[in-house]
Homo-oligomer: A and B are copies of this chain.
Amino acid sequence: MSGMSTDKLLIAAAAALLDSGGESAVTLRAVGAAVGVSHNAPYKHFKDRSALLAAVANDDFTMLTNAFAKIRQSSSKPLIKLQRALKAFIEYGQKHPARYRLLYSSPDLAAPGGDLEKIAFQSFVEFAGIVQEAQSSKDLPDVPNAALTGLLFASVHGLIDLEAGGLMRKEKGLSSATGTMALLIDLISRAGTK
């Protein structure tokens, strides 16, 4: 821990605060205190609070991209790869809801043309590649890959977001994100490959 540079320590502290108390808990004063510096020391490493949160998001996008790439390069069957990718994504969302929201539901952070948008796109490309393999193997219908990837991604995102918001208490049937995605894949795989 002490071997890390101050900026890495600040990012780690911000990520930990997101997990423990949500976005509102990530005050520069709390981050500074966790690292043992003053409340405005972060300004020496990041432009402002948003830039610090963007750094957390950047690390998590990189992690997801690597996870997807690893699954894609594995020797599993296409549909199994897709299921594993979805499972990894859902589990990340469940374990780190505030960080998940930071990546996919924070309009202010995703500056167009910025580094964050590029790395976010990379993770999407990896996911799209996995979907493409399932299409090539005729496990998923032969519609444009971008459209199908968008559909699958939006669906899993909606499920994770609703789950994080606790919107699935009464509305049974939304019981499990994993189960609902399995239903979706089952239904569309029956649609035939054109």
Which residues 121-158 in A have Cβ within 8 Å of B in the complex?
121, 124, 141, 143-151, 153-158
* Docked complex: A65-116 residues within 8 A CB-CB of B: 101, 104-107, 110, 112
Task: Judge whether A173 is part of the interface by a CB distance below 8 angstroms.
Answer: yes
Q: Which of A105, A121, A143, A158 has the most CB of B within 10 A?
A: A158
Copies in the complex: 2
Contact A180 B110 (CB under 8 A): no
Distance of A146 Cα from B147 Cα, bound (Å): 25
Top 9 closest pairs, chain A to chain B, by CB: A146-B173, A158-B158, A150-B174, A154-B158, A150-B173, A157-B158, A190-B191, A155-B155, A187-B188
**Contact surface of A with B, Cβ cutoff 8 Å:** 101, 104-107, 110, 112, 117, 120-121, 124, 141, 143-151, 153-159, 161-162, 164-175, 177, 179-180, 183-184, 187-188, 190-192
